[in-house]
Amino acid sequence: MVVSLKEIAARAGVSLSTVSNVVNGYRPVGEETRQRVQDAIDELGYAPNLSARHLRSGRTGIVALAIPELNNPYFAELAGAAIREAAGLGYTLVMEDTAGERERELMVIDNSRRQVVDGLIFSPVAVTREEVLARDPATPMVLIGEGVYDVPHDHIAIDNIAASHVAVQHLVSLDRYRIAFIGAQAGDHRQSAHLRLRGYREALAGAGLPFDAALAAPTMAFGRADGLMAMRDLLARRQPPDAVFAYNDLVAIGAMRAVAEAGMRIPDDIAVIGIDDIEEGRFSNPTLTTISPDKEHIGRLAVQALVARIEGKPVQPPYDIQPPFRLVTRESTLGGRRAVRP
């Protein structure tokens, strides 16, 4: 049976307009009154008609999340958090895998301009700042990741330089002195790779260690196979590294495979650390030390910021926010010791 707002008002002993304000969040309502209305909603089993609400507001009730690698566990975990948060706020979230290709990213921007969705959460890789600036601002957009900076949109990304410092400092604390970086990139794409390489170099300098360009291993992409091939090349050198800081956990897991193939031991011969704290790293052999960004927080925050823009709520001007991260130490650097639970 469909429950009406009038029935809720009668049960709570308040006016119909008060119930409407509580349900739709139009005006502040006293906490005691709001709780009475919420109790009546719970008792009667009221469920809002979201389709009607969106029709009245001129919105679709749909938001989009465009990411470069849906099969990357990091993005999959982040997307799960975003989907849950959107549903809790009464929106349906649809996903777009751009594969990091410029034409597909431009298509995503164009679709949002044509009001296919109410708003867009976007992790750009290939489009330029100028192309983002040229986008029609009518549809709200929140940026995640490091692809584009200095644009009038809310932007959420961890501090990659600081995260790299923590990773390298951890390896240095274990008396590792030939520390390699796997994931170096040429060109302007993948700003996160450039930032992590910069943080790696700064951390080496801070520890009094020289930067050896031969230990900054490039990769075509950022998957397991890329880490495997790059690590094989590093191990073939006359002086192989005694530690590896990988661009992400997938690269690190591939690198660990190459070390095992060479008959070497982790971490005795080579210590390995990644970034992302994906679930696979908690079950790899050995388990993977990593820099763990708060993916749940990033996903929720991106949706909350977007919905606030969509619904015209009072918000600050577009802001940059850097979510927290932490070092999670496991077997790939500490062996049987473990300082932080996975």
The per-residue pLDDT of the chain, averaged, comes to 88
Whether 250 is in a domain gets the answer yes
Q: Are residues 139 and 102 in the same domain?
A: yes
How would residue 306 be classed by pLDDT, with cut points 50, 70 and 90? very high
How would residue 216 be classed by pLDDT, with cut points 50, 70 and 90? very high
User: Looking at residue 335, what is its pLDDT?
Assistant: 82
Q: Are residues 36 and 129 in the same domain?
A: no
Q: Are residues 219 and 330 in the same domain?
A: yes
Q: Are residues 288 and 184 in the same domain?
A: yes
Alpha helix locations (H) across 114-159?
129-133
**Using one digit for the tens of pLDDT, what is the confidence trace for 196-209?**
999 999 999 999 99
Q: Are residues 264 and 187 in the same domain?
A: yes
The least confident of 8-17, 174-183, 226-235, 251-260 is 8-17
Q: Are residues 199 and 288 in the same domain?
A: yes
Whether 242 is in a domain gets the answer yes
Mean pLDDT of all residues in 121-133: 89
What gap in Å lies between CA 143 and CA 94, rounded to an integer? 16
Q: What's the gap between Cα 182 and its chain centre?
A: 21
Whether 77 is in a domain gets the answer yes
Neighbour tally for 215: CB within 10 Å: 23
Whether 96 is in a domain gets the answer yes
Q: Are residues 226 and 198 in the same domain?
A: yes
What gap in Å lies between CA 257 and CA 250, rounded to an integer? 11
Whether 340 is in a domain gets the answer no
Q: Are residues 218 and 207 in the same domain?
A: yes
User: Residue 18: which CATH number?
Assistant: 1.10.260.40
**Using one digit for the tens of pLDDT, what is the confidence trace for 128-146?**
888 888 887 778 999 998 8
Q: What total of structural domains would you count in the chain?
A: 3
Whether 86 is in a domain gets the answer yes
Q: What's the gap between Cα 191 and its chain centre?
A: 14
Whether 201 is in a domain gets the answer yes
pLDDT higher than 70, residue 112 = no
Domain of 311, in residue numbers: 57-158+295-325
pTM of the model: 0.79
Q: Are residues 330 and 197 in the same domain?
A: yes
Q: Are residues 211 and 154 in the same domain?
A: no
Q: Are residues 186 and 208 in the same domain?
A: yes
User: Looking at residue 341, what is its pLDDT?
Assistant: 36
Q: Are residues 63 and 119 in the same domain?
A: yes
**Using one digit for the tens of pLDDT, what is the confidence trace for 140-166?**
999 998 877 778 889 999 999 999 999
Q: Which is more confidently placed, 327 or 69?
A: 327
Using CA atoms in the order 326, 331, 336, 342, what is the torsion angle rounded to 10 degrees? 50
Whether 12 is in a domain gets the answer yes
User: Residue 266: which CATH number?
Assistant: 3.40.50.2300
